[in-house]
Structure 1
Amino acid sequence: MIATTDIIISISYIIFIVALGFWAGLSGKKNKTEAGEYFLAGKTLKWPIIGMALFATNISCLHLVSLAQSGFDSGLLAGNFEWMAAFTLILLALFFVPFYIRSEVATLPDFLEQRYNRACRDWLALISVVSAIVIHIAFSFLAGGIVLETLFGIDMFTSIIAIAVVTGAYTVVGGLRAVVVTETVQTIVLLAGAVIITVLSWHHAGGWKPVLEVLSSNQQLDKLSMLHGPSDPNGLPWYAVFLGYPVIGIWYWCADQTIVQRVLGAKDENHARTGALFCGFIKILPVFIFILPGLFAYVLYKQGTLDLEVLRQADGQLHTKGIYSVMITRLVPKGLVGVLVAALISGLMSQISGALNSIATLVSYDLYKRNKPQATDSKLVTVGRIAAVLALLLSIGLLPLLNRYESLFIGINDVISHIAPPITCVFLLGIFWKKASARAAQYTLWIGSLLGATVYFVGKIYPLNVPALLIAFYLFLACVFLQVTLSFVYPMQHTAASSKLYWESPLAPLRDKGWPGIANYKVLSLLLILIMVVLYWLFR
């Protein structure tokens, strides 16, 4: 339990964010029901806000909780999911952003319709809504509920419903402008909280030398390595990371509406590209401020200075899902605990608000307007708001099912690995291969999704003992084979729109001059690649 002062700080923060969300959403343009303003913030977003909003939508309470748990259990290994994101964000900036901005689409399913056909649009809209509910909302609710129950002693479902109400309120009313403004503040608070607990856990551990001594004495020095061999007990050998992560990463960062919607609201192409790359630089931090504290907690536990008996189950095993909560209550002094709780709530609220806005956009533009093309902007906004409320209710209903995963981090990546392959396939072939046909993409989405769902459910009955990332890679190969084959069976008949939505060569995107100097997207991309190569070399 935490002190009254910290509870007051936490509640005050929630009130501030809700007030800020309402103010941001209701200020600005006079017509609050204009669809472009509500769903895409009137396409006025600049690169700093885009970058921080991308990061805030990605990093939720789920990440704070699950990455700390991963740091405790397996060390820095899970950091691959953070650092590899930098490479996929470069792909977003270089290859995908120009098409998204120039085609002036409001949603990614809309983009697929322009490149392929309406069937592709409908299927991607459906999958995007489902994935947003499961991955971005339900898993985040689960992580937040676990933390708040541990800290405040409040029933998990009670705390989840309370957060759903306050977050849904300003998101449903304010639209994307409310989302990105609050996400910018939440990113700062989240990072500040993460830095605080990193510094404090480092201090309690006694510095780097004691950490190395503990890991060495327990034969756990591999916890400091990002790249593990084929016999890795965590199921993440280096080749699985480099083969499988791009499959789920390209879907998540380049083809998932919840993430890319911040880019679609950009003022122009340069702001969109620079915002994506800015997020890539920020993604370097989670390894050091989200995962490393979990590793320090492991060291403190082995030193005997961090009591984790509260996490011990009836069978004697530690239930490490709650490790972050214990670190907050045991390592952080009063007053700062409230800041840490505010950081957790920030991550939870930013993830949920971003997902709700993308669901509202998808349902309004890709499902409702498709069947009622004469719908007014006011009607579209109303439909979007109703969809957001229904999504909240459905995500809460999924919590008992998702809570069966022992590790939240493993759970979310397991789900993504079976959803992403067909979507990544049709997007990649769509922008890089002129002959990728509409009918082939349509069948690839249908069959690939069915195949992924089948493998997922069969694996739950008869464990496959194959890393989730490798499953993603194998499913991706199957989808590529399927789409390439079908593209020759059903040749592409390009329309005026689709003929402009593929690159003639991989070097074509680099012909744009961009901003001058260090802000140029080519310079930033090269700098980010060099930094990531050095980091991987140091922590290999």
Structure 2
Amino acid sequence: METGISSIDLVVIGIYFVTVLLIGLLVARKTKTGEDLFLGGRSFGWGLIGLSLFASNISTSTIIGLSGAAYSTGIVQSVYEWMTGIPLIIAALIFIPLYLKSRITTIPEFLELRYDRRSRQFFSVVTIFTSIVVDTAGGLYAGAIVLKAFFPDLVIWQTTLVLALVAGFYTAVGGLKAVVYTDAIQAIVLIIGCSVLSFMMFGQFDYSWSKVVETAPQDFLSIVKPADDDTLPWPGMIMAVPILGFWYWTTNQYIVQRILGAKNIQNARWGVILASFLKIIPLFIMVIPGTMAIGLFPGLENADQVFPTAVMKVLPVGLVGLVLAGLISAIMSSVDSTLNSASTLLVVDFIKTKNSEITDKQTVKYGRIATLILMAIAAFWAPMIANFGGIWSYLQQMFSIIVPPIAVIFLVGVFFKRGNKHGAFWTLILGTLAGVVLFVLGQYGYWPLHFTYNVGIMSLVSALIFIGISLASAAPDPKQIELYTYRKELISMDNAGLPWHKNYLNWIGLLVIAIGVLVYVFW
């Protein structure tokens, strides 16, 4: 069944826009303090946290990219999604109690408590830059490109501006609470919309998995690729995916911020476990439909057209609007999260550290102004991405440069109590510079290794720098770092005496089994 965008579809999309704006206005009436704006008054339950984590992570580039990659190279890149459980398990066991007991507002703030202000500010600057120039602007641009596939008359700069204005408005007035509430709705819309599409595509194969397998090229349904594979070689999967996942899910402000806004440690833990289970779903509603498309729409020249083609040719009137609302949800949930986190970092890590006497009213004002300014920068930069061609894809690989030293000073620093402020700061500086050198060498053909190998190599180099410089300089005061390093009671903190269904360790066990089953099935 081939359809176009009907008036019913447009009404569904319009209802979505009105809903998120109303939520922002309603929440704004209760946003009185900086903690309200940046952490939602530390009031979030596990359901909101889990849904918001899922929605914030799924962008238009994720939806389009996963289905397109499955169409052109197979399902291997889906491991970034369903192996999310590994870093989130580490977060639940160790970092959630460390963060929440520290009462921090930003993740860089934790670095100051563990090390010193130099590391905090360096990390904060890097995070603000990547959040606005890469994540927010990239999300706006990718979203505009995708929407243009459905609405050819759209102008890119106008589309990015409208998306930025809507997301920037409810984020500025409602803060994190508006972000999390809208994310929860967006997650549900996204899951329902993509599930319907996946179900109807499966129906084209008479709901027979064997028929799907027959149409897919050999090894497209396997996650284990050769060591020289261009997409995700198996050694790179082992070395890089857990490290990139740890950075993204445990140290990335725009993700962790809703965890910092949890009611308590229990709700934060249950929330990340819910998110881990939800992250398994894209394999079935975004990735496998990409392999189904091989048999349904053979010969597509551009893999990015897989998802739009499936929506327009498979779904009837009305459901097209639902899926497009889910697609717009993916754009908005990523943009609102990055805007809110970047403004939080700017206000808390820089403005408030310079003037700790500012009032709650002033903090809210600065936060809203910062959100709007950062929104304008992202909206201005987004259309420029088209002028950079392949360079923009290189910027995505820059994460393989910034991630290793950050992951090391958090993960190694929590267990290696001899690690000190000098080791942390110089690991950030030297580790980043070494990563830049490898990146440049790679672009000129002198370092031909896949970027996932670079993540593993630079993580080892960063760990050696951190340990070496720390051992060569004075040890930190054990009492000063006691609350910010690993201790056995972290794992059982606020978990004793709970019934089996509330014991997060039981759910972690079930999650490990689920991931193990997926590895076995798609090996």
TM-score tier, shorter chain, comes to: over 0.9
Answer yes or no: is 1:289 the counterpart of 2:273: no
Answer yes or no: is 1:204 the counterpart of 2:204: yes
| Kept in 2: contact 1:139–1:399 (CA 8 A) | no
How many Å apart are 1:399 and its aligned residue?
A: 4.5
How many Å apart are 1:139 and its aligned residue?
A: 2.1
Answer yes or no: is 1:36 the counterpart of 2:35: yes
- How has the CA–CA distance of structure 1 residues 138 and 455 changed in structure 2, closer, same or farther, with 3 Å as cutoff? farther
Give the Cα separation in 2 of the matches to 1:209 and 1:361.
50
- How has the CA–CA distance of structure 1 residues 432 and 64 changed in structure 2, closer, same or farther, with 3 Å as cutoff? same
- Greater CA deviation, 192-201 or 512-521? 512-521
Match of 1:90 in 2: 89
Over the residues paired in the alignment, what is the CA RMSD in angstroms? 2.0
Match of 1:266 in 2: 262
- Greater CA deviation, 456-465 or 276-285? 456-465
Match of 2:226 among 229, 243, 246: 229
Answer yes or no: is 1:503 the counterpart of 2:514: no
- Greater CA deviation, 102-111 or 410-419? 410-419
Give the Cα separation in 2 of the matches to 1:137 and 1:537.
36
| Kept in 2: contact 1:139–1:402 (CA 8 A) | no
| Kept in 2: contact 1:69–1:323 (CA 8 A) | yes
TM-score by length of 1: 0.91
How many Å apart are 1:459 and its aligned residue?
A: 2.9
Give the Cα separation in 2 of the matches to 1:322 and 1:20.
33
What whole-Å deviation, never above 9, does each CA across 1:378-397 have from its counterpart, x for those lacking one?
22222222222232233331
SS at match of 2:189: helix
Answer yes or no: is 1:438 the counterpart of 2:421: yes
| Kept in 1: contact 2:27–2:177 (CA 8 A) | yes
In structure 2, what residue type is equivalent to 1:521?
Y
Answer yes or no: is 1:252 the counterpart of 2:236: no
| Kept in 1: contact 2:160–2:382 (CA 8 A) | no
What whole-Å deviation, never above 9, does each CA across 1:251-278 have from its counterpart, x for those lacking one?
1000000000011001011111111111
What whole-Å deviation, never above 9, does each CA across 1:79-135 have from its counterpart, x for those lacking one?
110122111110111110011010100111111100000001101111111121134
| Kept in 2: contact 1:24–1:181 (CA 8 A) | no
- How has the CA–CA distance of structure 1 residues 522 and 413 changed in structure 2, closer, same or farther, with 3 Å as cutoff? farther
| Kept in 2: contact 1:235–1:466 (CA 8 A) | no
Give the Cα separation in 2 of the matches to 1:60 and 1:519.
31
- How has the CA–CA distance of structure 1 residues 274 and 405 changed in structure 2, closer, same or farther, with 3 Å as cutoff? farther
What whole-Å deviation, never above 9, does each CA across 1:348-402 have from its counterpart, x for those lacking one?
1111111111111101100111112222222222222222223223333155337
| Kept in 1: contact 2:404–2:462 (CA 8 A) | yes
SS at match of 1:75: coil
SS at match of 2:398: helix
In structure 1, what residue type is equivalent to 2:65?
S
Give the Cα separation in 2 of the matches to 1:417 and 1:237.
15
- How has the CA–CA distance of structure 1 residues 190 and 463 changed in structure 2, closer, same or farther, with 3 Å as cutoff? farther
- How has the CA–CA distance of structure 1 residues 406 and 193 changed in structure 2, closer, same or farther, with 3 Å as cutoff? farther
Match of 2:15 in 1: 12
In structure 2, what residue type is equivalent to 1:45?
F
Match of 1:355 in 2: 338
Give the Cα separation in 1 of the matches to 2:440 and 2:454.
13
Match of 1:299 among 295, 320, 328: 295
Answer yes or no: is 1:331 the counterpart of 2:330: no
Give the Cα separation in 1 of the matches to 2:452 and 2:409.
19
In structure 2, what residue type is equivalent to 1:300?
L
In structure 1, what residue type is equivalent to 2:82?
W
Answer yes or no: is 1:104 the counterpart of 2:107: no
SS at match of 1:221: coil
Give the Cα separation in 2 of the matches to 1:156 and 1:467.
32
Q: Percent identity?
A: 30
- How has the CA–CA distance of structure 1 residues 484 and 82 changed in structure 2, closer, same or farther, with 3 Å as cutoff? same
Give the Cα separation in 2 of the matches to 1:497 and 1:377.
29
How many Å apart are 1:70 and its aligned residue?
A: 1.1
Alignment of 1:400-439 (within 5 A): 400-401=384-385, 414-439=397-422
Match of 2:459 in 1: 476
Match of 2:214 in 1: 213
How many Å apart are 1:526 and its aligned residue?
A: 1.3
Give the Cα separation in 2 of the matches to 1:529 and 1:296.
28
Match of 1:61 in 2: 60
- How has the CA–CA distance of structure 1 residues 460 and 3 changed in structure 2, closer, same or farther, with 3 Å as cutoff? farther
Match of 2:48 in 1: 49
**Structure 1 unaligned residues grouped into runs of 5+:** 309-317
**Structure 2 unaligned residues grouped into runs of 5+:** none
Give the Cα separation in 2 of the matches to 1:384 and 1:489.
41
Alignment of 1:439-454 (within 5 A): 439-454=422-437
What whole-Å deviation, never above 9, does each CA across 1:425-477 have from its counterpart, x for those lacking one?
10012211110111110111112222223333443344733222111111111
| Kept in 1: contact 2:408–2:463 (CA 8 A) | yes
How many Å apart are 1:403 and its aligned residue?
A: 7.2
TM-score by length of 2: 0.94
Give the Cα separation in 2 of the matches to 1:246 and 1:118.
28
Give the Cα separation in 2 of the matches to 1:423 and 1:414.
16
Give the Cα separation in 2 of the matches to 1:407 and 1:225.
30
